[in-house]
């Protein structure tokens, strides 16, 4: 990244409002967001947001994508990565005293150091259905390579009965599953996560503190089956479909040869699974 380009990116990110917009869009990758959704989430006036979006787009940090009749916006994380690479190369070049700072950054060097088994956390708002599905699926499909966890930003006191029924019907053990708060995984003695997935948009909207250890993250947004109205049969069908979609993603995830992949390749795979649920054979 040349100097003028870097300066333009710095300028675009120098305002807390614009930085908040970019951070929100990055948390929702690979999805794009409608301006209305961004404005509501960040409590911004439409005209103010329009100015922010224009500046960020001009700096190449976001792009406009058409979705039906509307224009959505998506973060261009490559531009952020280019800026980080530029800073690291600049601060480390010829200054050995900075090497411990830049040289050990796993985001920059592309290495993929992880514990075994891999700790994986699934987050949604209520932790009563989607993230519970994911925890149970990874626990049973991942074998001893993974330790599955789930939590909610605002967890319910008990699991959704339709979710429990689906899991039991699919042969998953349910008596040890329970709703948990995300705070349980943000303590000093909490296990260090290797992967953190959000499985609902509201969880992705949350401005959580960065996770220690630089885990890989992905947003696997799914429709909330808890909010489906209708007969019990219609509700049960919605839960079954959510389970099916998560099973496809997790089957593809556990099939990844993580020991042979670098972080960038793994991240690309995780984002692919979010766009279109894959099967293990596709991974």
Domains of the chain: 3-77 (1.10.10.10), 118-282 (3.40.50.2300)
Starting at the edge strand found earlier in the chain, the sheet holding 146-152 runs: 146-152, 118-124, 195-198, 216-219
Please choose, from the candidates 222, 188, 186, the residue with its C-alpha nearest in 3D space to the C-alpha of residue 203: 222
Residue 212's pLDDT is what? Answer: 72
Distance from C-alpha of 182 to C-alpha of 195, rounded to nearest angstrom: 14
Of all helices (H) and strands (E), which one includes residue 122?
strand 118-124
What number is the average pLDDT over the span 69-90?
80
**Does residue 225 surpass a pLDDT of 80?**
yes
Q: Count CB atoms within 10 A of the CB of residue 110.
A: 10
Q: How far apart are CA 35 and CA 32, in angstroms?
A: 10
Q: 209 in the Ramachandran plot: left (φ > 0), alpha (ψ -120 to 50) or beta?
A: beta
- The contacts of residue 131 (CB under 8 Å, 6+ apart) are 122, 123, 124, 150, 151, 152, 199, 200
Two structure tokens written together for 216: 């890989």
Over residues 9-41, the pLDDT tens digits come to 889 999 999 999 999 998 888 888 999 999 999
Q: In this predicted model, what pLDDT tens digit does every residue of 85-123 receive, in sequence order?
A: 777 665 555 344 444 444 444 444 455 555 679 999 999
- Does the pLDDT value for residue 1 go beyond 80? no
**Residues 251-266: what's their mean pLDDT?**
89
- Residue 206's pLDDT is 64
| Lowest-pLDDT choice from 54-58, 60-64, 265-269 | 265-269
- Whether 49 has a pLDDT exceeding 80, the answer reads yes
CA 20 to chain centre: 16
Strands 62-67 and 70-75: antiparallel
Does 46 have pLDDT greater than 60? Answer: yes
């Amino acid at each position: 990244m040349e100097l003028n380009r870097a300066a333009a990116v710095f300028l675009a990110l120098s305002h807390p409002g614009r930085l908040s917009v970019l951070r929100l869009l990055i948390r929702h990758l690979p999805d794009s967001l409608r301006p209305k959704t961004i404005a509501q989430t960040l409590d911004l006036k439409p005209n103010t947001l329009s100015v922010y979006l224009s500046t960020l787009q001009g700096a190449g940090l976001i792009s406009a994508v058409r979705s039906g009749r509307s224009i959505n916006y998506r973060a261009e994380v490559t531009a952020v990565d280019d800026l980080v690479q530029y800073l690291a190369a600049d601060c480390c070049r010829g200054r050995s005293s900075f090497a411990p700072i830049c040289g050990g950054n796993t985001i920059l060097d592309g290495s993929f150091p992880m514990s075994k088994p891999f700790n994986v956390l699934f987050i949604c708002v209520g932790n009563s259905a989607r993230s519970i599905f994911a925890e149970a699926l990874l626990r049973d499909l991942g074998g001893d390579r993974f330790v599955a966890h789930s939590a909610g930003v605002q967890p319910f006191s008990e699991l959704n009965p339709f979710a429990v029924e689906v899991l039991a019907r699919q042969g998953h053990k349910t008596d040890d599953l329970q709703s948990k708060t995300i705070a349980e995984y943000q303590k000093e003695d909490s296990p260090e996560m290797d992967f953190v997935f959000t499985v609902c948009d509201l969880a992705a909207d949350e401005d959580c503190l960065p996770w220690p250890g630089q885990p890989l993250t992905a947003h696997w947004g799914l429709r909330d089956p808890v909010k489906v109205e209708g007969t019990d049969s219609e509700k049960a069908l919605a839960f079954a479909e959510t389970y099916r979609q998560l099973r496809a993603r997790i089957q593809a995830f556990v099939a990844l040869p993580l020991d042979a992949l670098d972080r960038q390749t793994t991240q690309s795979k995780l984002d692919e699974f979010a766009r279109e649920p894959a099967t293990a054979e596709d991974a």
